[in-house]
């Protein structure tokens, strides 16, 4: 039985229920993001788990939905988890650029829209059934290719070596060389082949070196907090090719290699370029002071998020590896936003100015100082 997750704004619950009532008689299991109003069910961890459970993701799209940060969190997770996304347009509102590859269903005619939706869901179910059948056949229905039988008479004759004529090898060394194939020409041919092979290998080494030096970010991001001066900060940003709209605006940004994982029902993101593991689910929806952030990190470690108890506040340079030169749909300079508006992130580095510490400003794409009494959002990290 196929499972479907319906993402909708709270104001559009009637539309979502109408879709659910249409699909349920077909034997489709449906989950709605607002069906259970309990805080536990609607927690980011439970929502990500439900999206991961689903075979298809239905997006109820209206003006209200386009302005909802919670729905942004849901459909970005569906993208990251590679779920088939079916936008249902009940109003003439454009989809985000990230969803331009999807095929929306326009519900100007309700009956026609529901018929198309049923066909789309059934096609997904048929595709999964076909894949499962092919998998079972590949595992359990293997048959060896037919083997042609040899002629028994030829085989028996071949076995009887006494019938084969004997060959005299004694005079083979006395045979004259073929004209034009002297030993000297053979030696030059071997030398030329070796030189050509060496040049090809050298060329490949040069190409790989150029690619690595131009595209791969260095793995020298400091993880120990300290006191950063403006001079030290600028040097670190330049040496690590990190984008900062004030200090290094020509850079394209750190070359992250993100991959999402779910460990013990907690979603995390691993960056293989920097060697860091970032918190994804359960991130703070409220800003915190530095003192509150330390208590929040302590609570994460006591609960053992994703099975780890060494979560910490990131350093400024670790946080700046998440800054991109261009803005995403939320209007912030990052490809890794967890679908939640976080314009500023706290870091563990202090400023050389007394009473100030550093934060990363994703709304403007640079880092800045903040008074210790100020507040910002928190995203925990650990060394992977």
Pairing of strands 85-89, 56-61: parallel
CATH number at residue 51: 3.40.50.10140
Give me the pLDDT at residue 105, please: 92
Does residue 30 lie within any of the structural domains? yes
177-191 confidence digits (pLDDT tens): 445 445 556 566 677
Residue 126 has pLDDT above 60, yes or no: yes
Domain C-terminal end among 135, 166, 196: 135
Q: Give the pLDDT band (50/70/90) at residue 369.
A: very high
Give me the pLDDT at residue 154, please: 46
276-331 confidence digits (pLDDT tens): 999 887 677 788 999 999 999 999 999 998 999 999 999 999 999 998 888 877 77
Q: Collapse the DSSP code of 164 into the 3-class scheme (helix H, G, I; strand E, B; otherwise coil) and give the result.
A: coil
CA distance 234 to 253: 14
| 244 and 121 inside one domain | no
- How many domains does the chain fold into? 2
Domain with 53, as residue range(s), is 3-135
Residue 252 has pLDDT above 70, yes or no: yes
Does residue 167 lie within any of the structural domains? no
Least confident of 15-24, 156-165, 316-325: 156-165
pLDDT exceeding 70 applies to what percent of the chain? 76
Give me the pLDDT at residue 315, please: 94
Rounded to the nearest 10 degrees, how much is the dihedral formed by the CA atoms of 313, 317, 322, 325?
Answer: 150
Query: Chain-wide mean pLDDT for the chain?
Result: 79
What pTM value is reported for the model?
Answer: 0.51
Rounded to the nearest 10 degrees, how much is the dihedral formed by the CA atoms of 65, 68, 70, 76?
Answer: 70
Does residue 101 lie within any of the structural domains? yes
Question: How far is CA 13 from its chain centroid?
Answer: 31
Residue 216 has pLDDT above 60, yes or no: no
Pairing of strands 258-263, 227-228: unpaired
Residue 148 has pLDDT above 80, yes or no: no
| 233 and 126 inside one domain | no
Residue 58 has pLDDT above 90, yes or no: yes
Long-range contacts formed by 63-69: CB under 8 A, 24+ apart: 63/91, 63/93, 64/9, 64/11, 64/12, 65/8, 65/9, 65/12, 65/93, 66/93, 66/96, 68/9, 69/330, 69/339, 69/340, 69/341
Residue 218 has pLDDT above 50, yes or no: no
- Looking at per-residue pLDDT, the higher value among 107 and 40 belongs to 107
Does residue 146 lie within any of the structural domains? no
Tell me the mean pLDDT in the region 68-92: 87
Residue 265 has pLDDT above 90, yes or no: no
């Amino acid at each position: 039985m196929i499972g479907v997750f319906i993402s909708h704004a709270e104001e559009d619950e009637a539309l979502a229920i109408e879709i659910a009532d249409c699909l349920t008689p077909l034997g489709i299991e449906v989950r709605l993001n607002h069906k259970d109003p309990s805080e536990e069910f609607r927690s980011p961890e439970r929502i990500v788990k439900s999206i991961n459970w689903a075979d298809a993701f239905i997006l109820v799209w209206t003006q209200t939905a386009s302005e909802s940060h919670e729905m942004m969190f849901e459909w970005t997770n569906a993208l990251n988890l590679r779920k088939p996304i079916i936008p249902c347009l009940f109003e003439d509102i454009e989809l985000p650029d990230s969803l331009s590859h999807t095929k929306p269903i326009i519900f100007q005619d309700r009956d026609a829209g529901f018929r198309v939706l049923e066909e789309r869901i059934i096609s997904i179910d048929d595709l999964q059934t076909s894949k499962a059948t092919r998998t079972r056949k590949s595992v359990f229905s293997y048959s060896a290719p037919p083997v042609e039988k040899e002629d028994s008479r030829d085989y028996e004759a071949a076995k009887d070596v006494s019938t084969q004529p004997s060959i005299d090898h004694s005079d083979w060394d006395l045979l004259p060389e073929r004209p034009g194939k002297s030993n000297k020409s053979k030696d030059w041919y071997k030398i030329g082949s070796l030189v050509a092979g060496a040049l090809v290998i050298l060329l490949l080494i040069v190409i790989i070196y150029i690619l690595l030096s131009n595209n791969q970010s260095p793995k020298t991001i400091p993880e120990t907090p300290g006191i950063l001066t403006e001079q030290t900060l600028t040097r670190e940003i330049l040496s690590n090719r990190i984008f900062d709209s004030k200090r290094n605006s020509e850079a394209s940004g750190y070359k992250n290699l993100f991959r999402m994982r779910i460990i013990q029902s907690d979603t995390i993101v691993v960056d293989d370029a920097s060697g860091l593991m970032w918190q994804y689910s359960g991130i703070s929806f409220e800003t915190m002071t530095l003192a509150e952030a330390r208590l929040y990190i302590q609570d994460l470690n006591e609960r053992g998020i994703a099975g780890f108890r060494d979560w910490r506040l990131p350093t400024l340079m670790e946080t700046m590896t998440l800054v991109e030169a261009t803005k995403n749909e939320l209007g912030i300079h990052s490809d890794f936003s967890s679908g939640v508006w976080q314009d500023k992130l706290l870091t563990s580095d202090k400023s050389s100015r007394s009473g100030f510490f550093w934060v990363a400003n994703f709304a403007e794409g640079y880092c800045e100082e903040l008074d210790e009494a100020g507040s910002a959002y928190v995203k925990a990290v650990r060394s992977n």
